[in-house]
Structure 1
Amino acid sequence: MNKHIKNVAVIGSGIMGSGIACHFANIGVNVLLLDIVPRELNHAELAKGLTLKDKGVRNRLVNDSLAASLKAKPSPIYHQDFANRITTGNMEDDIAKVSKVDWIIEVVVERLDIKKQVFEKLEEHRTPGTLITSNTSGIPIHFMSEGRSDDFQKHFCGTHFFNPVRYLDLFEIIPGPKTLPEVLDFLNGYGEKFLGKTSVVSKDTPAFIGNRIGTFSIQSLFHTVKDMDMTVEEVDKLTGPVIGRPKSATFRTVDVVGLDTLVHVANGIHENCPDDERRDVFKLPGFIDTMMENKWYGSKTDQGFYKKVKDKEGNSEILGLDLDSMDYRPKKSTKFAVLEKTKTIDNVQDRFEVLVDDTGKAGKFYRRNFGALFAYSSNRIPEITDELYKIDDAMRAGFGWGHGPFQIWDAIGIEKGLKLIEDEDLEVAEWVNELKASGSDSFYSVKDGASYFYDIPSKSMKKVPGQDAFIILDNIRKSKEVFKNKGVVVEDLGDGILNVEFQSKMNTIGGDVLAGLNTAIDKAEKDFQGLVVGNQGANFSVGANIGMIFMMAVEQEYDELNRAIKMFQDTMMRMRYSSIPTVSAPHNMTLGGGCELSLHADKVVAAAETYIGLVEFGVGVIPGGGGSKEMAVRAQDTFRKGDVELNILQEYFLTIGMAKVSTSAYEAYDLGYLQHGKDIVVVNKDRQIATAKAHAKLMAEAGYTQPVKRTDIKVLGKQALGMFLVGTDSMEASKYISEHDRKIADKLAYVMAGGDLSEPTRVSEQYLLNLEREAFLSLCSEKKTLERIQHMLKTGKPLRN
């Protein structure tokens, strides 16, 4: 199907509808967002003398819903300007406009009768051939299309987004009885390529794939917590980051999503899956019934499994729910000895075996949890899907799990996983025994850089589809390794392009990383054509290794610290001035030194979810790896005839001084971290390394020329410095900043002004780098800076002193 999506209509403007509308606007699609007309006036409208015929009244529901969504934190939209791509209206006055769109998405209340009424209205105006889908989370697709025209049914299916739409990647596609195969293929590709999602074609079964497995997992924990006399805090400690899942873990996640939502899905599964061998798990335990009666739904009702209150001093305190007394009490701190053992195991997959081998309470919990999950997942094939990898994809993309059930099972080992199932008196699907009998010892394998899965019908390993557009570093790391040290792995991506993958804790940049980066540039200049700096970890880089800086500063090893900072600066300048093109591929947290590296690459291929910024003020220093210099350079490069140069320089100064971090890659353009016409954004993070490689190759083949070092940077000297110093003085006087804040800001001002030169002057980059390094070193000798660094190392939070 050769189809281009330029205009989309979203019917229903609730949390999901507005979220879907915002995400289509994120990718450049024009959106028509419609909802019902209010049946009565509100107090404000009555006071103004308005009537139900006024357009503002008729569009009130849709406008209020969209406005609330755009104010939400975290935001559903990459950039507030993108909201201009959304046009609002109502189902009576504007429904005829759906005749002009390419795709209609229904997101109304989860009631079959209402959905069928909406589809009947839409069919009156829909143009034949227009895609029409429902975002239902559980109503069977075949019920919704009954009575509709043949063309409607051929172009109709379910497209289930997960909330929040921008941040959760799962996009389930559920065919109806007559859905054309080419419609499914198109939506599958569109979801992955344009929406940046993990597309999964599911079967038309209750709760589909993600919610069926995810809800079982949560419900199973609900029963386990009582059986094992555990607290909500203990369960959340064991089901969070330690096993590669979100910090919100289990109970906090339920609070965020809403207990009422979870109960709705669980009840639906229990009612509509009479043959499910674990159907009783979906019965609600007593404490959930009590919470539902009390309307303790979570964040939406200000209390759920946790409750935020104010103490006598007005400080916020989080209380936890005691599941026995059903009273709130102070949160309990929890410790498990086995979790201490896993702290030194960076690779989450390597932790699973250690966790299930634990002889304490935690080990028993994991054995029960994983045994139940493995058995249930195996028995859902072929009911909810024919391919096991789709279950893993759905759990990673829809629930934020780092690893799906079969990936965890592989990490533990098939034999050990079967033992966990046996110990729980559960039955495994027969196909798992067939896999074992075939001689296979895993559900997945890697060959020639591609992932393969065990295909049940053929009883053989088959290539996971859709990988051709991806480069998966985990799959090529061993076979394509060119160089490795403690900080990096350098891989050959093919076609003359190398990749530098950081391997340090949280991808911090220290001596090993800098040495590895220089070695990679050496190798690329000698034997290759280009260099990508990218990884597929949780974050691109949280910045320089401040622990190393702290130790050298405390020991007053200032010469050594000076050499370390100069090495950082020189390495960034090599990124800028090497003889081969360099491309940075940042994603998620790209802070401090990670930001500086991207600032110095020839091109940035950023994931849409990139939170980039120079945050060094938080630890009492200025950016010292070329960041302060670079922002001064970028400020002067934006000067145009007639500009007020001081205002532009001040804007860049405040970006650093206020430690501004973009909330998306698109916002990074506003802050000057990304540059229009040079840097690009990719919505699907899985495509990022492949896209970065393609751009490095393109630059090389187009005849890349090594840049000439710049000596033409205009600095404003005393003219700018005086303005900055007056500003910092007044901010300190008004108690907006502390004395030490002012000291840091004055140091930055000196660098970005180019010193106290008597008049605007042209200088070199090295001149500014020297000023930057001197300022950085002088701040490292300050007691208050050391206090800030130490506090950050201990707590992970900035100190204002």
Structure 2
Amino acid sequence: MNRSIRKVAVLGSGIMGSRIACHFANIGVEVLLLDIVPKEPNEAEKAKGLTTEHPAVRNRIVTESFQQTLKATPASLYSPSFASRVKLGNFDDNLADIKNYDWVIEVVVERLDIKKSLYEKVDVLRKPGTLITSNTSGIPIHLMAEGRSEDFKKHFCGTHFFNPPRYLRLLEIIPTKETDPGIIDFLMHYGDLFLGKTTVLCKDTPGFIANRLGIYALIQTIRVAAEMNLSVDQVDKLTGPVVGRPKSGTFRLSDVVGLDTTVHVANNLYASGEGNDESRDAFVLPAIMQKLYDNKWLGDKTGQGFYKKMKDEKGKSVILALDFDTLDYKPSEKVKFDTLETTKAIGDVTKRFGVLLAGKDKAGEFYRRTFADIFKYATYRVPGISDEIFRIDQAISAGFGWQLGLFETWDAIGLKNMLTIMESLDQKPAAWVYEMLEAGNESFYRIEAGKKLYYDIPSRSYKKIPGQDAFVILSNLSEGIVWKNAGANLYDLGDGILNLEFRSKMNTMGSEVIEGIQKGISLAERDFRGIVIGNESSEAFSAGANLAMLFMFAIEQEFDEINMVIAQFQQTMMRARYSSIPVVTAPHTLALGGGCELNLHADKVVAHAETYMGLVEFGVGIIPAGGGTKEMALRCSDMYQAGDPELNILQTAFMNIAQAKVSTSARDAYEMNYLQDKDQIVLNRSRLIAEAKQAAIELAENGYTQPKQRSDIKVQGKAGMALFMAGIAQMQMANYITEHDAKIANKLAYVINGGDLSYPQQVTEQYLLDLEREAFLSLCGERKTLERMQGLLNGGKPPRN
């Protein structure tokens, strides 16, 4: 049957329930969020004379929970306005409404008796065919379905979201033996396409996949750290970005998640551990974790855990780290290991592992011990928790934000090399690893014809990972590179479409990247029918221009060089806008400064939902000069005919630039006018380049015609500039901005209003580009601008000088 999800009911409004409700609201679904009725009014309600019959009292729990979620950071909604898509209610008055909903998701307290009691009511009230799923992380799915109707069982399974659901990509799908296979296929597809998730099919085993392995790795890391006398700061440095994992590392992650959550999952895994889990005792809490748990030092929710945030004598916030021996908190220390120093110049995380594990210091020993342990554990979990190794890697990567899964990491180290280390530490893996090697297979994965294959243990052969046909994965297309330099690769994606991938640090746009853009468009105009500009970086689409190069020129007062660089940058952006083939960009994560300007000049932007876009140059003492200021003046000009006061429209664009404002999502970028109606948002990051490729094909096939440069941009001239400058002066007098802030703002006002024109009139794009460049050059000659640039380059915040 054809199934669509238009309305979702979420039962339970706690942290997970409210956040799941918000994520469904993000994609346009109507949501009903329910929770229990309080037993009695609170003191404030009693003072107002309210009883438990009053709607405000009856819905107090759900209302307070939802409001707390709306106030929390990071935000659970793409736009605050989406909160109106969530209707609040309670189980007593509104549970019967679920008969009108397509999917019911249970997210109540982790007690089997409470869940089963709720399901008994749901079974009677739901209409046949309604999906019913549980977000449990610790209770066996089949136990919850006991005693339910056949239709309930057929449409019931586990759907385990990871917290926070908007940001973490994992959605584990856990069927029972009675679940209709068609329902599982639907949920796997829906989670991928509509919710933007990496949907992983799991077995109904303790902890499923991600928590089983992730919590094991976390606890064992803490245990090894204590044994090696490593500090909290040291471990978080070792387990962060250097190994392709989030900046939070191990201990900061525990504080964010909450130690009580980790302890709860660990205790469940120990209590329900299967008899064949040879490492079950590893889930017994290390002494330090038990001490913190007993002290109720649970992390962020209690104000202290492995870290503690305090104010010093000057009122400045400082982060203190726990000392394992004394249980006192001490100032965070600067971490330095010789092994880490040797990897600083290695940008590719896959190439770091060999160096890290060969280290002769404590860092090297730490990596050898922890990696050997978790790799061994993972091999023994096949086929218990998963028949296929790729599902294990997908779950751990998407659930915990790792760039590489466990078996992918092992491949990066080298299967034989890691096996030697494991054997030396008495951490031999399961027999199937030796059988794989004896058959001449020396890696868990292979790339063939642009597709990734995994080693299938039962057949002792390599099979294609399913679902890849919907994705374009650049790392699998090394044979498709048609041109490259130090900062960019050009790939032939097939179907007449090129892809330009930036490869500089944070994908900043230096000379190599600019060359790549020019080369890519030239090749596409000659031999292809469109180009996509996109990459697979976990850090940034592009963090903007190469500030270090600009600072070097400015400090040496090489203004001719700066003028030439900016002119070339502007020409490149205009080339993207006015080429003879469609140019489609695929931004994600950070698209700042020049990275934002490139998107502003594309024929179409296909943005990941989590795209943080902004013209941020003001913060380092300059204005956008790669066409960013020009483009916002142009877009405002196009909006004037809508009837809103023209200066109000222009002021909004001006303030976005002057405040270096960055969108909080791709949806927010629409509201800031950085994205337009022609653009597109994609929920699943893995689909981004494939969707951008399809957009380029459609533009080409619909008869793309090279546009002409604009000469009809209405600017306000002196009238607008005077109003802006008056406001700037008032803000300076009130000490909201510094003298240098005012100088930059006046330059920006001059450009965005079209300069010293006596009356509003139409100008060309080139006219505004020239104004941009002149203002940029003059600001580069300011000492205070150089101080701001230097502050950022030195790893801190630019001073407000």
Q: TM-score range by the shorter chain?
A: over 0.9
- 1:461 matched to 2:462: yes
- 1:49 matched to 2:49: yes
Give the equivalent residue in structure 2 for 1:123: 123
What code does the residue aligned with 2:240 have?
G
1:319-468 paired onto structure 2 within 5 Å: 319-468=320-469
Task: Tell me by how many angstroms 1:795 deviates.
Answer: 1.5
1:606 alignment partner, SS class: strand
8 Å contact 1:287–1:326 — kept in the other structure? no
Give the equivalent residue in structure 1 for 2:312: 311
Task: Tell me by how many angstroms 1:642 deviates.
Answer: 4.1
What code does the residue aligned with 1:572 have?
M
User: How many angstroms apart in 1 are the aligned matches of 2:546 and 2:75?
Assistant: 30
Task: Tell me by how many angstroms 1:641 deviates.
Answer: 6.0
User: How many angstroms apart in 1 are the aligned matches of 2:569 and 2:528?
Assistant: 23
User: Taking every aligned residue pair, what percent have the same amino acid on both sides?
Assistant: 59
User: How many angstroms apart in 2 are the aligned matches of 1:382 and 1:769?
Assistant: 61
1:540 alignment partner, SS class: strand
Task: Tell me by how many angstroms 1:177 deviates.
Answer: 2.4
Task: Tell me by how many angstroms 1:420 deviates.
Answer: 2.3
User: How many angstroms apart in 2 are the aligned matches of 1:174 and 1:529?
Assistant: 43
User: How many angstroms apart in 2 are the aligned matches of 1:506 and 1:398?
Assistant: 23
8 Å contact 1:322–1:328 — kept in the other structure? yes
User: How many angstroms apart in 2 are the aligned matches of 1:263 and 1:155?
Assistant: 32
8 Å contact 2:419–2:428 — kept in the other structure? no
- 1:607 matched to 2:601: no
What code does the residue aligned with 1:388 have?
I
Task: Tell me by how many angstroms 1:459 deviates.
Answer: 0.5
8 Å contact 1:310–1:317 — kept in the other structure? yes
Give the equivalent residue in structure 2 for 1:711: 711
Give the equivalent residue in structure 2 for 1:779: 779
What code does the residue aligned with 1:474 have?
S
Residue by residue over 1:564-598, the C-alpha shift from the partner in whole angstroms, topping out at 9 and shown as x without a partner, is: 00000000001111111111110000000000000
Give the equivalent residue in structure 1 for 2:647: 646
- 1:278 matched to 2:289: no
Q: CA RMSD in A?
A: 0.9
Residue by residue over 1:376-404, the C-alpha shift from the partner in whole angstroms, topping out at 9 and shown as x without a partner, is: 00000011000001111011100111111
- 1:537 matched to 2:542: no
Task: Tell me by how many angstroms 1:124 deviates.
Answer: 1.4
Give the equivalent residue in structure 2 for 1:293: 294
What code does the residue aligned with 2:631 have?
E
Task: Tell me by how many angstroms 1:144 deviates.
Answer: 0.4
User: How many angstroms apart in 2 are the aligned matches of 1:241 and 1:418?
Assistant: 24
Residue by residue over 1:738-788, the C-alpha shift from the partner in whole angstroms, topping out at 9 and shown as x without a partner, is: 000000000000001101111111110000000000000000000000111
8 Å contact 2:606–2:682 — kept in the other structure? yes
CA gap of 1:641–1:229, structure 2 versus 1, over 3 A, is closer
8 Å contact 1:552–1:561 — kept in the other structure? yes
Residue by residue over 1:236-283, the C-alpha shift from the partner in whole angstroms, topping out at 9 and shown as x without a partner, is: 110001001011000000000000000011111111114311111111
Give the equivalent residue in structure 2 for 1:562: 563
1:544-559 paired onto structure 2 within 5 Å: 544-559=545-560
Give the equivalent residue in structure 2 for 1:763: 763
Residue by residue over 1:32-56, the C-alpha shift from the partner in whole angstroms, topping out at 9 and shown as x without a partner, is: 1110011111111111111101111
User: How many angstroms apart in 2 are the aligned matches of 1:720 and 1:116?
Assistant: 66
Task: Tell me by how many angstroms 1:643 deviates.
Answer: 2.9
8 Å contact 1:374–1:417 — kept in the other structure? no
8 Å contact 1:449–1:475 — kept in the other structure? yes
Give the equivalent residue in structure 1 for 2:789: 789
1:595 alignment partner, SS class: helix
1:397 alignment partner, SS class: helix
2:599 alignment partner, SS class: helix
Task: Tell me by how many angstroms 1:319 deviates.
Answer: 1.1
User: How many angstroms apart in 2 are the aligned matches of 1:312 and 1:563?
Assistant: 49
User: How many angstroms apart in 2 are the aligned matches of 1:84 and 1:424?
Assistant: 57
Give the equivalent residue in structure 2 for 1:480: 480
1:230-269 paired onto structure 2 within 5 Å: 230-269=230-269
User: How many angstroms apart in 2 are the aligned matches of 1:329 and 1:509?
Assistant: 40
Give the equivalent residue in structure 2 for 1:636: 637
User: How many angstroms apart in 2 are the aligned matches of 1:641 and 1:583?
Assistant: 27
1:94 alignment partner, SS class: helix
2:641 alignment partner, SS class: coil
Residue by residue over 1:102-149, the C-alpha shift from the partner in whole angstroms, topping out at 9 and shown as x without a partner, is: 111000000000000010111110111111000000100111000001
Task: Tell me by how many angstroms 1:799 deviates.
Answer: 2.0
Give the equivalent residue in structure 2 for 1:622: 623
- Segments of 4+ in structure 1 off by > 6 A? none
Of the structure 1 ranges 173-182 and 14-23, higher mean CA displacement relative to structure 2 is found in: 173-182
User: How many angstroms apart in 2 are the aligned matches of 1:103 and 1:693?
Assistant: 33
Task: Tell me by how many angstroms 1:333 deviates.
Answer: 2.1
1:319 alignment partner, SS class: strand
Task: Tell me by how many angstroms 1:97 deviates.
Answer: 0.6
CA gap of 1:158–1:393, structure 2 versus 1, over 3 A, is same
User: How many angstroms apart in 2 are the aligned matches of 1:781 and 1:322?
Assistant: 48
User: How many angstroms apart in 1 are the aligned matches of 2:161 and 2:2?
Assistant: 23
Give the equivalent residue in structure 1 for 2:727: 727
User: How many angstroms apart in 1 are the aligned matches of 2:652 and 2:139?
Assistant: 52
1:681 alignment partner, SS class: strand
Task: Tell me by how many angstroms 1:417 deviates.
Answer: 1.7
1:304 alignment partner, SS class: coil
Of the structure 1 ranges 420-429 and 359-368, higher mean CA displacement relative to structure 2 is found in: 420-429
Gaps of 5+ in 2: none
User: How many angstroms apart in 2 are the aligned matches of 1:450 and 1:685?
Assistant: 18
Residue by residue over 1:336-360, the C-alpha shift from the partner in whole angstroms, topping out at 9 and shown as x without a partner, is: 0111111110010110110000111
Give the equivalent residue in structure 2 for 1:699: 699
8 Å contact 2:790–2:798 — kept in the other structure? no
8 Å contact 2:542–2:591 — kept in the other structure? yes
User: How many angstroms apart in 2 are the aligned matches of 1:563 and 1:320?
Assistant: 48
User: How many angstroms apart in 1 are the aligned matches of 2:556 and 2:377?
Assistant: 57
What code does the residue aligned with 2:49 have?
G
Residue by residue over 1:412-442, the C-alpha shift from the partner in whole angstroms, topping out at 9 and shown as x without a partner, is: 1111221222122223111111110110110
8 Å contact 2:787–2:798 — kept in the other structure? no
Give the equivalent residue in structure 2 for 1:64: 64
User: How many angstroms apart in 1 are the aligned matches of 2:192 and 2:210?
Assistant: 17
User: How many angstroms apart in 2 are the aligned matches of 1:642 and 1:107?
Assistant: 47
Task: Tell me by how many angstroms 1:695 deviates.
Answer: 0.7
- 1:524 matched to 2:528: no
What is the aligned length? Answer: 799
Residue by residue over 1:601-659, the C-alpha shift from the partner in whole angstroms, topping out at 9 and shown as x without a partner, is: 01100000000000000110000100011111111110026431111111111110011
Residue by residue over 1:480-532, the C-alpha shift from the partner in whole angstroms, topping out at 9 and shown as x without a partner, is: 11111111101111111111100111100011111110011111111111111
User: How many angstroms apart in 2 are the aligned matches of 1:641 and 1:113?
Assistant: 58
8 Å contact 1:585–1:607 — kept in the other structure? yes
Give the equivalent residue in structure 2 for 1:588: 589
User: How many angstroms apart in 2 are the aligned matches of 1:718 and 1:383?
Assistant: 73
What code does the residue aligned with 2:385 have?
I
Task: Tell me by how many angstroms 1:361 deviates.
Answer: 0.7
Give the equivalent residue in structure 2 for 1:210: 210
- Taking structure 1 as the reference length, what is the TM-score of the superposition? 0.99
Give the equivalent residue in structure 1 for 2:598: 597
Task: Tell me by how many angstroms 1:231 deviates.
Answer: 1.0
Residue by residue over 1:449-485, the C-alpha shift from the partner in whole angstroms, topping out at 9 and shown as x without a partner, is: 1110000111000000111110000001x21111111
User: How many angstroms apart in 1 are the aligned matches of 2:49 and 2:13?
Assistant: 26
User: How many angstroms apart in 1 are the aligned matches of 2:109 and 2:342?
Assistant: 47
What code does the residue aligned with 1:159 have?
T
What code does the residue aligned with 1:782 have?
E
1:494 alignment partner, SS class: coil
2:640 alignment partner, SS class: coil
